[in-house]
Structure 1
Amino acid sequence: MRAGAISWRLAQTFWVGGLWLLHFVMLPALGKIGLAPLLIEEIGDVLRPLLVGFAAFCALLQLLVLWQAERQARWWRDMRGQLLLTVLVMAALYFIVRAIAPESLRWLLFNYLVLALCGVLLALQPVPGSDPR
């Protein structure tokens, strides 16, 4: 297996798994063990921007792997390229909205969940360089 395919899978596992783990496992588990809701909210407010930034970094890495594997100028027409560009745009919007209007929690949650959904859809796509053409 080539280094690009390995780095693609590793980056995807870390950022997609991290987003889903925080929102659907870690924060609800903290609520179940009896932590105060404000404390759980504070933990989420600290960790979500870190994970969104990490997702953007990993998406850039995956975009580089896709660009290298495709060797053509039409990588953005590929479903994987479109999903990665969506991840980058949503991550940028997350930080813009967080800086301009930090009280708009629903929009921030929407951005976060779109990132997680794009990650799952990206996980269903083949690794670049492995699909037969």
Structure 2
Amino acid sequence: MSRSVIFKQPLRAAAASWQLAQIFWVGGLWLLHFVLLPALGKYGLAPLLVDELGGALSRLLIGFSAFCALLQLLVLVQITRLKGFWRDVRGQLLVTVELLALTYLLVGHWLPDAYRWLLFNYLLLAFCGLLLVLQPIPGAGAESPARAP
């Protein structure tokens, strides 16, 4: 095996872990809000039960999203070596996701009746995830749009 092939292995592993984490948290957020909860409502479950399930599953999914976004943040820092991290759109989106997840969990704990704020925060988190999906994968050879001349 040539030496250049050996050194490219961590970048492929980082790109794979980036994609896997992104699929889990972004796909999970969109699936829960736009597929699962409306399907439970159409199935005929009581609206209060659907709301209760949605609230419980949302909190769990937001916590999992924060963990996956932290993993993506670590991959990005490893690849960019912290020099261009703040100028990269992916880094800014991941920091925003972490702050939104923290806000959602804190507001959900202290003000559980703030339904509109929690829904807005959830949808903003899902939209940031969608914007992150549109960005190139770090270490895949594509140049970031934020660093392009």
TM-score by length of 1: 0.96
In structure 1, which of residues 30, 36, 41 is the aligned counterpart of residue 46 of structure 2?
Answer: 36
In structure 1, which of residues 106, 110, 119 is the aligned counterpart of residue 116 of structure 2?
Answer: 106
Secondary structure, in 3 states, of the residue corresponding to 1:2?
helix
Aligned to 1:5: 15
Aligned to 1:66: 76
Q: What does 1:47-58 correspond to in 2, within 5 Å?
A: 47-58=57-68
Instruction: Give the ranges of 4+ consecutive aligned residues of structure 1 lying more than 4 Å apart after TM superposition.
Output: none
Cα offset, 1:86, TM superposition: 0.3
Q: Between Structure 1 and Structure 2, how many residues are aligned?
A: 133
In structure 2, which of residues 102, 105, 108 is the aligned counterpart of residue 95 of structure 1?
Answer: 105
Aligned-partner residue type, residue 119 of structure 1? G
Secondary structure, in 3 states, of the residue corresponding to 1:14?
helix
- For the residues of structure 2 that align with 1:66 and 1:72, how far apart are their CA atoms? 8
Coordinate RMSD, CA, aligned:
1.2
Determine whether 1:119 maps to 2:122.
no
Aligned-partner residue type, residue 92 of structure 1? L
Listed one character per residue, the Cα deviations across residues 69-95 of structure 1 (whole Å, up to 9, x for unaligned) are 112323021000000000000001011
Secondary structure, in 3 states, of the residue corresponding to 2:45?
coil
In structure 2, which of residues 93, 101, 109 is the aligned counterpart of residue 83 of structure 1?
Answer: 93
How much identity, in percent, do the aligned residues show? Answer: 64
Runs of 5+ consecutive residues of structure 2 not aligned to the other structure? 1-10
TM-score by length of 2: 0.86
Aligned to 1:17: 27
- For the residues of structure 2 that align with 1:120 and 1:32, how far apart are their CA atoms? 26
Secondary structure, in 3 states, of the residue corresponding to 1:77?
coil
